[in-house]
Amino acid sequence: MAMLRDRLKLHNLLGIGKKKAAGGDLTTLEGMQSYGSNKLSELLGVKGDLRADSQAAYQNMVKDITKSSSFYLAVVKDYQDVNLTPPDDEATAYIAGVLENTNLRGAFDCTLIGRHTYNLLKQANDKLFTERGKIVVEHVQRLIDESPISHSEAMKAVNGVSVSDEVTQQIQRQRKGDYRGKFAMQSLKLELANIYRLTNGLALPDMLVKTDPRACHYNEYTKGKSAINVGSGLTKQVLWHEVAHRLEYVSQDVLDASKSFLSERLKQAEAEGKGIRRLKDLYPRSKYKRNEITIDDSAFSAYVTKLYTKDSNLPIGPNNIRSSEVVSMGIECLASPSAAGAALATDPDHIAYMLGLIKRLQSSNK
């Protein structure tokens, strides 16, 4: 499959989403988010603002946990890990109060809490929101099943993907990840077919290669051909993430939608007195490099709004990006109930946007 196939397909998508779907005009960011929000409200049975509902559910969960003896013991263990005197009731109450109004992962990465407190709260958080995430993932599976592209058409396209011998050997012998053993390659191809159908035939690499332990996407691995490096321990979420990067490359419409998404997030962040920051400053415990930047907003992960500039001489900002993590991180979440639930807990607007974008893709003329 050459790049020409994707480009010809893109020509057929020039009228992408011209039809209006229930909930709004899918050619606009507002329309996609409106459609997705309405669909999420319908699926989850939520009346009112999705973000407010998720925040209230999270806050109630935190209140219940922080009133328990388990919470106090977890905080004490965290203090002991760094050789500090156990906190008094006032200090513990302060930690509990801050947790009610912050992102759980952010609280951990910013060193507000330690691993014992984090694990306790994460377990409760996952239990609360995984059920919601499961509902969303089941809806995504229905979208795959109802795709304009049939399973046989998708498998025909997937069987045209070039697979290196190194990939076959890696997949068959790996002990970690979602693709292992004798039928691992068959399972991987079935998953590629699912992504292909979900995105109406846009997201599919020309090649699968093994170049590095960490999976990644190459827009042009060899002349005119894209590739996915499967890395080591490939999972379904990572596969969906890397393949989804293809969307912004073959469709200017999708890239423009990502730019609009990031521009709106930057406006919101600046209105709150925030803006563009180094990822390393937001997450001191992380392995991010000093030159990696993001929009400090309300995303479920700061990586979502990471900015990749296409020219170092251009001003840093959403309008000058060459690619983004908006679609890849969003689709990754839709591959797992726990991941979808975690995103719903802190950033339901992003999940709503993804449902709107998928509707836009699947509404396009073939």
At 85 the pLDDT is 84
At 95 the pLDDT is 82
Tell me, yes or no, whether 114 and 191 share the same domain.
no
Asked if residues 279 and 252 have their Cβ atoms less than 8 Å apart, the reply is no
Which residue, of 117, 134, 151, is where some domain finishes? 134
Q: Say if 312 falls within a structural domain.
A: no
Q: Say if 313 falls within a structural domain.
A: no
Query: pLDDT higher for 111 or 50?
Result: 50
Tell me, yes or no, whether 12 and 80 share the same domain.
no
Tell me, yes or no, whether 244 and 178 share the same domain.
yes
Asked if residues 161 and 192 have their Cβ atoms less than 8 Å apart, the reply is yes
Tell me, yes or no, whether 143 and 194 share the same domain.
yes
Residue 14 clears pLDDT 50, i.e. is over it? no
Tell me, yes or no, whether 233 and 220 share the same domain.
yes
Residue 169 Cα distances to 174, 231, 233, 236, angstroms = 8, 12, 12, 18
Q: Best-predicted range by mean pLDDT among 21-35, 192-206, 221-235?
A: 192-206
Q: Say if 295 falls within a structural domain.
A: no
At 20 the pLDDT is 54
- The residue range of the domain holding 236 is 3-48+136-256+322-362
218 pLDDT band (50/70/90 cuts)?
very high
Q: Say if 232 falls within a structural domain.
A: yes
Q: How many folded domains does the chain comprise?
A: 2
At 298 the pLDDT is 75
Q: Say if 15 falls within a structural domain.
A: yes
Which residue, of 116, 134, 152, is where some domain finishes? 134
Least-confidence region, from 28-32, 51-55, 69-73, 189-193: 51-55
pTM of the model: 0.83
Query: pLDDT higher for 72 or 312?
Result: 72
At 32 the pLDDT is 96
At 25 the pLDDT is 86
Summarised one tens digit per residue, pLDDT across range 309-359 is 766 555 678 888 889 999 999 999 999 999 999 899 889 999 999 999 999
For the chain, percent of residues with pLDDT exceeding 70: 88
Query: pLDDT higher for 235 or 364?
Result: 235
Mean pLDDT of 66-78: 90
Tell me, yes or no, whether 42 and 59 share the same domain.
no
Tell me, yes or no, whether 149 and 222 share the same domain.
yes
Query: pLDDT higher for 147 or 5?
Result: 147
Tell me, yes or no, whether 144 and 179 share the same domain.
yes
Tell me, yes or no, whether 183 and 58 share the same domain.
no
Residue with tokens 């929000």: 37
Tell me, yes or no, whether 56 and 121 share the same domain.
yes
Residue 24 clears pLDDT 70, i.e. is over it? no
Q: Average pLDDT of the chain?
A: 87
Residue 12 clears pLDDT 90, i.e. is over it? no
Mean pLDDT of 93-105: 75
Residue 22 CB coordination number (10 Å): 9
Q: Say if 33 falls within a structural domain.
A: yes
Residue 208 clears pLDDT 80, i.e. is over it? yes
Residue 8 clears pLDDT 60, i.e. is over it? no
Closest by CA position to 330, among listed 351, 300, 302? 351
SS3 (DSSP) at 264: helix
Which residue, of 85, 115, 134, is where some domain finishes? 134
Residue 210 clears pLDDT 60, i.e. is over it? yes
Mean pLDDT of 288-297: 88
At 61 the pLDDT is 87
32: CB partners within 8 A, 6+ apart: 24, 26, 257, 353, 356, 357, 359, 360
Tell me, yes or no, whether 231 and 164 share the same domain.
yes
Query: pLDDT higher for 100 or 365?
Result: 100
Tell me, yes or no, whether 335 and 233 share the same domain.
yes
Q: Cα(13)–Cα(301) distance, rounded to whole angstroms?
A: 30
10 pLDDT band (50/70/90 cuts)?
very low
Residue with tokens 């790049």: 3
At 88 the pLDDT is 83
Q: Say if 287 falls within a structural domain.
A: no
At 153 the pLDDT is 98
Q: Say if 293 falls within a structural domain.
A: no
